[in-house]
């Protein structure tokens, strides 16, 4: 399986990082080795002093597809979940400044938290779903899928122009504002509406 991540999909997050609003979604991949194994803590890697959490809604692909039209995109997933796109911000910044790919800042071992999934049919409107991240019991990021610049179905159409989507692939749909640094001892807990979908210890 592969993980396809979307960058800059929420206006307020684009502003907080002083980025430009893109014309098309920005995509990057994480290998399956980036997935943090269930119940394992997240270890801050020794090559970074500034690892950030980015809470994101996840979409799990249930059918193989290529060049998927937006109007059929909803048939390619029946579960959404929540995860964290851990980012070594200092490493990413250095690479970005040089115009180099920033894969190592985003795709290292443990950099993808994949929480539990919920059936799509549990939601009246997939484009109006609240989600949040708590750090040590305090909300640090809150979002709603209505604020995505490209909605889930738009993303599936766009991504599948370039990458064949396969069963089990996961899309990270981008983070809202409020990203920040993690420290040893932090507990990160993710929620969709009121349901807890993961809880991660940082070491």
By CB under 5 A, residue 175 contacts Zn ion:
yes
Q: Which is nearer to Zn ion, 75 or 110 (CB)?
A: 110
CA 166 to chain centre: 18
By CB under 5 A, residue 178 contacts Zn ion:
no
| Shortest Å, Cβ 93 to Zn ion | 15
Q: Which is nearer to Zn ion, 77 or 102 (CB)?
A: 102
Closest CA to 57 of 180, 197, 165, 201: 197
Question: Is residue 40 a contact partner of residue 53, using CB atoms and an 8 Å limit?
Answer: no
| Shortest Å, Cβ 187 to Zn ion | 20
Provide the CB-side half-sphere exposure for 12 (13 A, CA): 12
Token pair, residue 103, equals 């894969």
Q: State which of positions 70-129 bind Zn ion (CB under 5 A).
A: 85
Binding-site string for Zn ion from residue 53 to residue 72, where x marks contact by CB under 5 A and - marks none: -x------------------
By CB under 5 A, residue 134 contacts Zn ion:
no
Q: Which is nearer to Zn ion, 85 or 157 (CB)?
A: 85
| Shortest Å, Cβ 100 to Zn ion | 18
Q: Beta-carbon neighbour count of residue 143 at 10 Å?
A: 25
The torsion angles phi and psi of 170, rounded to 5 degrees, stand at: -125, 135
Find tokens 């932090």 and name the residue.
186
Binding site for Zn ion (CB under 5 A): 54, 85, 175
């Amino acid at each position: 399986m592969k993980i396809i991540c979307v960058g800059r999909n929420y206006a307020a997050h684009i502003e907080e990082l002083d980025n430009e609003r893109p014309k098309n979604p920005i995509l990057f991949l994480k290998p399956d080795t980036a997935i943090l194994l269930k119940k394992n803590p997240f270890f801050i890697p020794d090559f970074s002093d500034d690892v950030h959490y980015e809470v994101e809604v996840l979409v799990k692909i249930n059918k193989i597809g290529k060049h998927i039209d937006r109007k059929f995109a909803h048939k390619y997933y029946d579960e959404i979940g929540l995860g964290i796109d851990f980012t070594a911000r200092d490493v990413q910044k250095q690479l970005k400044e040089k115009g180099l790919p920033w894969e190592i800042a985003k795709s290292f071992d443990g950099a993808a938290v994949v929480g539990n999934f919920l059936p799509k049919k549990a939601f009246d409107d997939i484009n109006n779903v609240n989600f949040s991240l708590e750090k040590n019991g305090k909300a640090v990021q809150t979002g709603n899928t209505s604020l995505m610049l490209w909605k889930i179905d738009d993303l599936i159409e766009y991504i599948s122009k370039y990458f064949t989507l396969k069963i089990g692939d996961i899309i990270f749909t981008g983070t809202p504002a409020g990203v920040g640094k993690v420290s040893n001892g932090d507990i990160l807990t993710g929620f969709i509406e009121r349901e807890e979908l993961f809880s991660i210890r940082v070491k």
